[in-house]
């Protein structure tokens, strides 16, 4: 509420943004996410963009005008039905913007979901998109689900398509921090809170990168976030930019 009162731009934010999708203003974060695609994937408004775990449409808000001008298309999907309803209302009338609900089970975001995350199928044809985004999605999935999502993303992209995503990539010297005190969870991953493990989960970097390659991505760039010392770009989580073979 104080942020909404202080900044007129934030007064139209969906209330769910304050509770489920992290800190920062809705439009501010939307522009930031669009900037990641522009900087690391070459987004210019002409491409097809797949937004994995789109939430209440922050990235969509940042991409909308550019896509309308450039003739590109956008598909966002999320396991929260209420988030998708909000997106459909907010972007109603924008023919280039589409949103789908996947009723995938998750203990925090969709505990009554009918579909197991290890059986998830993305709601698009193979090779339908030029680039994909998953902002703070793999920070809430166990490693087997991450592998499934990586495989589905690879299918959705054209050859040479780029996948920009964030994660906590744990490596020697960056296995925990004051901000994120990760502790042991299983053989591939660590969590901040064992009572709510998917609130913030990090994966061993070598395991995550093996999964990227196994999914069919021929190369990738890696940029450390500022969740721990040694940041290499202006972002909180670690950033990957993977290129489909």
Q: What pLDDT does 25 receive? A: 78
CATH of domain 1-120: 3.40.50
pLDDT in tens, 18-36: 444 445 678 889 999 999 9
Q: How many helices (H) and strands (E) does the chain have?
A: 7, 11
132: region left, alpha or beta (phi > 0 left; psi from -120 to 50 alpha): beta
Q: In the 3-class helix/strand/coil scheme, how is 56-95 assigned residue by residue?
A: CCHHHHHHHHHHHHHCCEEEEEECCHHHHHHHHHHCCCCC
- Using an 8 Å Cβ cutoff, are 31 and 62 in contact? yes
Question: Sheet of 129-134: strands edge to edge?
Answer: 97-101, 73-78, 48-52, 129-134, 157-167, 238-244, 217-223
Would you state the pLDDT for residue 20? 47
For residues 230 and 131, give the distance between their C-alpha atoms in angstroms, rounded to a whole number. Answer: 28
> Do residues 97 and 142 make contact, with C-beta atoms less than 8 angstroms apart?
no
Where the chain has pLDDT below 70, the residues are: 1-24
> Residue 2 has what pLDDT?
55
CB 3: neighbour CB atoms within 10 A? Answer: 14
pTM of the model as a whole: 0.91
Predicted confidence (pLDDT) per residue in 126-157, tens digit:
999 999 999 999 999 999 999 999 999 999 99
pLDDT score at 26? 84
Question: What's the distance, CA 133 to chain centroid?
Answer: 5
Angle, CA 93 vertex, CA 109 and CA 125 arms, to 5°: 60
Nearest-angstrom CA–CA distance, 32 and 103? 28
Considering only the C-alpha atoms of the chain, give the largest distance between any 2 of them, rounded to a whole number of Å. Answer: 49
Could you give the C-alpha distances from 42 to 6, 75, 128, 160, 191, in angstroms and in order? Answer: 34, 18, 17, 12, 33
Q: Are 211 and 143 in contact (CB under 8 A)?
A: yes
In the chain, domain spans: 1-120, 159-245
């Amino acid at each position: 509420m104080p942020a909404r009162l202080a900044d007129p731009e934030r007064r139209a934010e969906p209330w769910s943004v304050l509770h489920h999708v992290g800190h920062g203003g809705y439009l501010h974060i939307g522009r930031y996410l669009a900037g990641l695609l522009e900087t690391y994937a070459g987004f210019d408004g002409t491409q097809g963009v797949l937004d994995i775990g789109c939430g209440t449409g922050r990235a969509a808000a940042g991409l909308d005008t550019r896509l309308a001008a450039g003739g590109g298309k956008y598909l966002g999907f999320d396991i929260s039905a209420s988030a998708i309803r909000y997106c459909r209302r907010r972007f109603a009338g924008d023919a280039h913007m589409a949103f789908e609900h996947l009723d995938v089970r998750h203990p925090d975001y969709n505990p009554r979901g009918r579909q197991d995350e290890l059986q998830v199928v993305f709601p698009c044809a193979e090779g339908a998109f030029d680039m994909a985004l998953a902002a703070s999605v793999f920070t809430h999935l166990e490693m087997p689900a991450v592998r499934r999502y990586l495989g589905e993303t690879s299918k959705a992209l054209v050859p040479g398509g780029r996948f920009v995503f964030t994660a906590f990539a744990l490596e020697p010297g960056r296995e925990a921090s004051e901000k994120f005190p990760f502790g042991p969870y299983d053989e591939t991953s660590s969590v901040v809170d064992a009572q709510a493990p998917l609130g913030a989960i990090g994966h061993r970097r070598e395991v995550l990168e093996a999964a990227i390659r196994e999914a069919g991505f021929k190369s990738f760039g890696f940029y450390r976030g500022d969740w721990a010392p040694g940041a290499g770009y202006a972002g909180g989580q670690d950033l990957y930019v993977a290129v489909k073979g």
